[in-house]
Structure 1
Amino acid sequence: MSIQPGDPIPSMPLQVATADGAQDSDTSQLFDGKRVLLFSVPGAFTPTCSERHLPGYVQHHDEFAKRGIAVYCLSVNDPFVMQAWGESQHIPAGLLMLADGNGAFTRALGLEMDASKFGMGVRGKRFALYAENGVARAVEVEAPGEFRVSSAEAMLDTIAALPPA
């Protein structure tokens, strides 16, 4: 079963891709005491991810920041790929690129998918998750082949419609 609103973010190690290389972190450091929008893409440098998903969060990053919301991009890729992708997309300071190299965090969320027929192995579904203080408040998972509910614009609307915690 996948993570649902009200569920805690699983405690897991992750790597943050930085200009200086991979930095070890964990979900408690990344989520506890914070408002976070985590969006996940099936793969860095893939068409929809590079042309629409990440660019939308780059374009609207300031709107999330004004609301006190950190933005993280997650993919089942290694941190070096995530670093190169972030650089190629000119991500703003503060938008973190998270590498879930073996997909352990994605599996813990229950949001993995088998993309073997595309030569990609096990990856993460396209989704967006809004969390406050380490607890999911909204989880939007895309249907296969779609890109609507996890976009930056859709998530800004979703967050605005949430009742106070």
Structure 2
Amino acid sequence: MIKVGDTLPEVTLQEYSEVEGNGCSIGPNPVKVGDAVKGKTIALFGLPGAYTPTCSAKHVPGYVEQAEALKAAGVDEIWCVSVNDAFVMGAWARDQKTGGKVRMLADGSADFAKATGLTLDLTARGMGLRSTRYSMLVKDGKVATLNIEGPGKFEVSDAATLLAQAKG
């Protein structure tokens, strides 16, 4: 499992973008993790799935609300990573109004989740292999802080916790 001091895995995530004004969509577009984090501080959080109750009601909205404060604390970008396809993440981004605040990145085949060891097997619930709920502060590709939730919990991966760590 990934830990503080480790480098993020060299995998490719997918991002679905909207064309300003006419609602037409572009994508999915590849996001090579190694290139995308170079020289940046990233507030990255992972969660089990788009449109799931805790993720939609608390996790994503907290990061949207804290986006300016995180940027003021030195964060260049905020990433939400989930084992969903880019089209679902794009629709969820519209629903959550994340535009310009949180990048909604798809880990459709769970490559990132598997490479970090942050997987959650929800096969028995009909959801397959997913990402566990976590947050991390990444500086120039290296994990600076890592907060992993226990099963069914939402206590340490929230935006307020990561903001306090970014300010620290």
Count of aligned positions: 160
**For 2:28 and 2:74, how far apart are their aligned partners in 1?**
25
- Aligned partner of 2:23 in structure 1 is none
Question: Which segments of structure 1 move beyond 4 Å, counting only runs of 4 or more?
Answer: none
**For 1:17 and 1:62, how far apart are their aligned partners in 2?**
22
SS at match of 1:114: strand
Q: Please give the TM-score of this superposition, normalised by the length of structure 2.
A: 0.92
Quote the sequence identity (%): 38
Instruction: Pick which of 111-120 and 74-83 moved more.
Output: 111-120
SS at match of 1:65: helix
**For 2:94 and 2:150, how far apart are their aligned partners in 1?**
28
**For 1:29 and 1:77, how far apart are their aligned partners in 2?**
22
Q: Does 1:4 align with 2:3?
A: yes
Q: What's the RMSD between the two structures over aligned residues?
A: 1.0
- Aligned partner of 1:100 in structure 2 is 107
Q: Which consecutive unaligned segments of at least 5 residues does structure 1 have?
A: none
State the shift of 1:81 in Å: 0.2
Kindly indicate whether the alpha-carbon contact (under 8 Å) linking 2:73 and 2:163 is maintained by their aligned counterparts in 1: no
Within-5 A mapping of 1:62-141: 62-69=68-75, 70-141=77-148
SS at match of 1:113: strand
SS at match of 1:4: coil
Q: Please give the TM-score of this superposition, normalised by the length of structure 1.
A: 0.93
- Aligned partner of 1:13 in structure 2 is 12
